[in-house]
Amino acid sequence: MVSFLFKRLIQSFIVMFTVALIAFSMFRFVGDPINNMVGQDTTQEQREELREQLGLNDPFVVQFLRFAGNAVVGDFGISYKFKVPVSEMIAERMPATLELAFVSAVLALVVGIPLGVYTALRRNGVISKMVMTMSLFGVSLPTFLIGILLILFFGVVLRWLPTFGRGDVVDLGFWTTGFLTKSGILSLILPSITLALFQMTLIMRLVRAEMLEVLRTDFVKFAKARGLPDRSVHFKHALKNTLVPVITITGLQLGSLIAFAIITESVFQWPGMGLMFIQAIADVDIPIMAAYLVLIAFFFVVINMIVDILYYAVDPRLRTSDGS
Amino acid sequence: MELLQINDLKIQFPSRRGTVDAVKGVTLTVKPGEVLGVVGESGAGKSTIGNAVIGLLEPPGRVAGGDVYLKGEQINNLDRDAIRKIRGRRIGMIFQDPLTSLDPLQTIEQQLVETIDLHLKLGAEKSLERAIDLLDQVGIPNPAERIKHYPHQFSGGMRQRVVIALALCAEPEVIIADEPTTALDVSIQAQILELMRRLCREKQVGMLIITHDMGVIADITDRVAVMYRGDLVEEGTTQKILGDPDHPYTKSLISAVPRPDVRLHRFPMVDYIEKEEDRKKDFDISTHWLGQAQDFDAVEGSLVSVENLVMKFISKEALLKKNRQYFTAVDNVSFDIRQGEVFGLVGESGSGKSTVARMICGLYKPASGSVNFGGTDLTKIKSETELDYYRRQMQMIFQDPFSSLNGRMKVMDIVAEPIRFHKLASSNQEVETIVLDLLEHVGLGRAAALRYPHEFSGGQRQRISIARALATRPRFLICDEPTSALDVSIQAQILNLLKDLQEELGLTMLFISHDLPVIRQMCDRVGVMKMGQLVEVSETETLFEAPSAPYTKELLSLMPKLDKLSHSGLEIED
């Protein structure tokens, strides 16, 4: 287990290093940072001075190491456009994205898994077939379209729910949360459904397929032959075995919830990191883009690590294979 | 009173192409303390009977007629809940594969306690006590500690004991065992059968044992019912059925069982089921392409000789090389295979016999040692083209006929591939002619060429594999358990075919099997392997009549006793 974790750590490090390298190359190759920072009337001398001051004349390796070193302690430099440290901007925006992603993930799991189990158990039922048909929409409709349709229906026609922003938030000092106010919670509903829908249908279809597979196994048949009631066979034995492979996919999907919140955030004008990233692209604000890239990669790596450890917790076959 | 009574049971499987009658009116009875064997080959419908009794027929299968009585009480018309209460409580079930019969994510304790508590309502503590007691009864050492373990921490034989404990935990009146020992080694099989028989006698349980294995039937049953394609063709005491069968199918089935006691030239009469298609010999093999002078150097004495072969697999990964742990699968094995002989390797699963074969044909690279083929050390050859020359001379036939053929290729292309790869024929037309001749020669007929593997049965697929192996005109054939996935009558046909081909073409063969009677029928000399080591090599007859190594003696003593089988009466009719 230790050697496995160690290997994983090395892999994670390589991934982070590569992403950092890509993020950093943007500084070098996407336009001239000095041009982006100064006005039209800055003289050539002033530009050279600034260049020297910022260390842009140093060799590539030195600059990259400086970037990486700073990134490790969370310093991604100063935004070209807003002239404030990127780390501050991210700290301000991150809670919005993480809260949205969290609610979506919970929604996707809480709805997706039971629906998957249900459609597997009642394979030929009318409701199952309806759910399966509906789920095709979830997989095939693009996120932005779903978002826009939801806004149109619940926001414009019915006027039940807010259509943009986070509503009122409470500042806890290190975190701003929308969970504590009514408007905050109402504002979360539409964007989280939009973001969750794709993952929900994916998880549902995955659980269904796995569950059907497990229901055909010998141990399920043997459990039935021992007279165990359906409830125990389905939930105690079959479902647990179903969830082993589902964990991996779900873990990866959580990462992409955070990463792909961009579209949802744009549609709902959600003040999260994704929206900030979109604006940064428009402004060619490279420090923000670099920081965002590195951060998302970091989330993925951490989630993957957790998934691997969870695997050990869930599946006894992995735990003891070192020992015996 | 009969304990279990099955009256005129009919089971149907409706399908798009019409209804299949899986079981056509079968009547069986089991008395307390009695073991009734239901024997038959695949597709005979024997497993569906077991499933139907406990109400677990896989849909779309359904009981189309007949009744099942348990102690005089009709149970085939009960509702879902009522039949569920009988399952496990009054009728216990044991399945074939112990490796997949237990929930891998729960400890043995969780599974046992859940079942015991469900049926006997003892409460958690008493249930645990009983669970430990049961494990002790089925012969699991140190049960109080072992009960905390997960299924994967037990060996196959131990897992089957756990399965038996689970089936017995509510003291059922009837046990239905569906191929309970098929997945196990002979030594484990003997122990498990002994255990089951003892439990039957002690607790006066009636047992219905479903199997295709005549050895198991001879070992454990009191009475036998023989099934063929959904019909019960014959029923009687084990003595009568095995010794003096009436029905031609039973006779054919028994004559196909490889005899442990005498070597026969061929299996006498095995063509009841599928008529062994007449192998038309309208061409003389010695003048045909197949038998033509093979452009290999002639070899004096031994064709293949392996010296001090060692193979290690990593059993525990570690970052540092010195911390890695290895499992020695093959440990210093040396033997010679003479030109033109059939050399057998026998041993239980995990003894390393397949690994040796794979090293000889180059699928594994040995950790050390050498493989000499016709005087050349193959492990020293680096160039692929040079190796191809030797690869062409040796071909392999694998165990599983279902996964060893590419399902997306037509049989024509499967058999033609080696000919084309080694450029053994000048034109495409010649290749096709050769393939058609080959298919005919292995008893498949020319029409097979245009079909895909899934259209064939297991035995027919193994014939395709044989045709493919012969397509390079090899002089050395490696058969790795070529018939252990097949029914006995099919096995007899395939073994007959291999014997004929070996004689016609003067092939040298390495024949691997765990089945001693099969080895006796096929091989000239035999090597016995145990845990990676070769414990004995001798002439087949010597090995069977006067084994020298203690392990060989043990293996021979575990061989199913088929004394009750009367072969003598059968051969005359051939």
Q: What is the mean pLDDT of chain B?
A: 85
Per the structure, the complete domain to which residue A140 belongs is given by 88-283
A213-234 pLDDT tens trace: 999 888 999 999 998 998 889 9
Interchain pair A226, B93: CB under 8 A: yes
Residues A108, A199 contacting (CB under 8 angstroms): yes
pLDDT higher than threshold 80 for residue A318: no
The CATH number of whichever domain residue A157 belongs to comes to 1.10.3720.10
**Is residue A28 one of the residues assigned to a domain?**
no
Task: State the pLDDT at residue B294.
Answer: 60
**Is residue A114 one of the residues assigned to a domain?**
yes
B35-90 pLDDT tens trace: 999 998 877 888 889 889 988 888 788 888 889 999 988 888 888 888 888 998 99
DSSP, collapsed to helix, strand or coil, labels residue A107 as helix
What helix, strand, coil percent values describe chain B, rounded to 5?
Answer: 40, 25, 40
pLDDT higher than threshold 50 for residue A324: no
The CATH number of whichever domain residue B560 belongs to comes to 3.40.50.300
Point out the residue among B84, B97, B152 whose CB comes nearest to the CB of A218: B97
Average pLDDT of span B191-202: 86
Residue B3: which residues within 8 A CB-CB, separation 6 or more?
B29, B30, B31, B32, B34, B70, B71, B173, B174, B206
Residues B77, A248 contacting (CB under 8 angstroms): no
Give the whole-angstrom CA distance, residue B277 versus residue B194: 41
**Percent of chain B predicted with pLDDT > 70:** 91
Per the structure, the complete domain to which residue B440 belongs is given by 302-316+325-571
Point out the residue among A223, A224, A314 whose CB comes nearest to the CB of B103: A223
* ipTM score assigned to the predicted complex: 0.76
pLDDT higher than threshold 80 for residue A93: yes
**Is residue B55 one of the residues assigned to a domain?**
no
**Is residue B149 one of the residues assigned to a domain?**
no
- Chain B residues touching chain A at CB-CB below 8 Å: 54, 56, 84-89, 92-93, 95-97, 100-107, 114-115, 118-119, 150, 152-153, 163, 166-167, 170, 316-319
Predicted confidence band of residue B441 (pLDDT cuts 50, 70, 90): confident
Q: What is the mean pLDDT of chain A?
A: 84
The DSSP result for B214-241, as a single string, is HHHHHHH-SEEEEEETTEEEEEEEHHHH
Q: Nearest-CA neighbor of B333 among B317, B355, B363?
A: B355
Predicted confidence band of residue B286 (pLDDT cuts 50, 70, 90): low
**Is residue A155 one of the residues assigned to a domain?**
yes
| Alpha-helix runs per DSSP H in B169-227 | 186-203, 214-220
**Is residue B427 one of the residues assigned to a domain?**
yes
**Is residue B244 one of the residues assigned to a domain?**
no
Task: State the pLDDT at residue B147.
Answer: 92
The DSSP result for A22-66, as a single string, is HHHHHHHHSS-HHHHHS-TT--HHHHHHHHHHTTTTS-HHHHHHH
Average pLDDT of span A53-78: 82
Task: State the pLDDT at residue B568.
Answer: 43
Looking at the complex, report in whole angstroms how far the Cα of residue B513 sits from the nearest Cα belonging to chain A. Answer: 27
**Is residue B196 one of the residues assigned to a domain?**
no
Residues B522, B477 contacting (CB under 8 angstroms): no
- Chain A residues touching chain B at CB-CB below 8 Å: 3, 6-7, 217-219, 221-229, 232, 236-237, 240-241, 244, 314-317, 320, 322, 324
**Is residue B4 one of the residues assigned to a domain?**
no
B239-255 pLDDT tens trace: 888 888 888 888 888 88
B486-495 pLDDT tens trace: 888 888 888 9
Average pLDDT of span B560-573: 51
Interchain pair A227, B150: CB under 8 A: no
**Is residue A177 one of the residues assigned to a domain?**
yes
Question: Which residues in B92-115 are b (16+ Cβ under 10 Å) and which e?
Answer: bbbbbbbbbbbbbbbbbbbbbbbb
B-chain residues near A317 (CB < 8 A): 104, 150, 152
pLDDT higher than threshold 50 for residue A239: yes
Backbone torsions φ then ψ of A204, nearest 5 degrees: -60, -45
Task: State the pLDDT at residue A114.
Answer: 93
Average pLDDT of span B439-454: 86
By CA distance, what is A241's nearest residue in B? B105
**Is residue B523 one of the residues assigned to a domain?**
yes
Task: State the pLDDT at residue B30.
Answer: 93
Strands (E) in B40-122, as ranges, are 62-70, 73-74, 91-94
**Total number of domains constituting chain A:** 1
**Is residue A35 one of the residues assigned to a domain?**
no
**Is residue A309 one of the residues assigned to a domain?**
no
**Total number of domains constituting chain B:** 1
**Is residue A41 one of the residues assigned to a domain?**
no
DSSP, collapsed to helix, strand or coil, labels residue A104 as helix
**Is residue B348 one of the residues assigned to a domain?**
yes
Question: Which residues in A265-297 are b (16+ Cβ under 10 Å) and which e?
Answer: bbbbebbbbbbbbeebeeebbbbbbbbbbbbbb
**Is residue A289 one of the residues assigned to a domain?**
no
B499-548 pLDDT tens trace: 888 888 888 999 999 888 889 989 999 999 998 899 999 999 999 888 99
pLDDT higher than threshold 90 for residue A58: no
Residue A154: which residues within 8 A CB-CB, separation 6 or more?
A160, A161, A163, A190
DSSP, collapsed to helix, strand or coil, labels residue A97 as helix
B163-181 pLDDT tens trace: 989 988 888 999 999 988 8
